[in-house]
Structure 1
Amino acid sequence: MRQHRINTLKPGEHYKAKELDSFVSTTDIVLLASNASQLFSDPEREYKVVHEVEGFFEHSVDDGEKYFRDKRAYVVEKV
């Protein structure tokens, strides 16, 4: 059985919501989920990491410019 605390997410792997919660709380990442606000509602629900990116562009409402964020992001979907 895997510990709740994980150091990295790997595409194709399954993780429980409580593991993702712990990872997000201790790591500077973006987590995108197919079931939006329900991601952490059931700690035992499993999710599959379907995609990982090294960074992304973000639009600033302050100056209208687009900025590259050098921040790892993961897409997860409910299993």
Structure 2
Amino acid sequence: MREYQLNTLKPGENYSAKELDSFVSTTDVILVSSNTSELFSDPDREYKVTMELDGCFEHSSTNGEKQFRNKRVYVVEKT
């Protein structure tokens, strides 16, 4: 098992929910998962990083503006 203190994720690699939880708690990133709200429900479940992006667009429902967030985004799927 890897050390929980990760400073980056690598596309194609698998990580446990425990490792991902530690990563997002200590790093300014966005984590996107098709596993809805169950991402951290099982700490031992494995997830594969399928994509890494430099940022994303966010739409404000308040003022209708779209803004690019220059923040690392990782897409993960449960394995």
Q: TM-score, normalised by structure 2?
A: 0.96
Identity of aligned residues (%): 68
In 1: Cα distance, 2:28 partner to 2:56 partner: 14
C-alpha RMSD of matched pairs (Å): 0.7
Separation in structure 2 between the aligned mates of residue 28 and residue 17 of structure 1, nearest angstrom: 17
Give runs of aligned pairs for residues 1-79 of structure 1, distance below 5 A: 1-79=1-79
Structure 1 unmatched runs, 5+? none
Task: List runs of 5+ in structure 2 lacking aligned partners.
Answer: none
Query: Residue 21 of structure 1: SS of its match in structure 2?
Result: helix
Runs of 4+ deviating beyond 6 Å: none
Post-superposition offset of 1:34: 1.4
Alpha-carbon distance between aligned partners in 2 of 1:34 and 1:60, rounded to the nearest angstrom? 22
Q: What TM-score, normalized to structure 1? A: 0.96
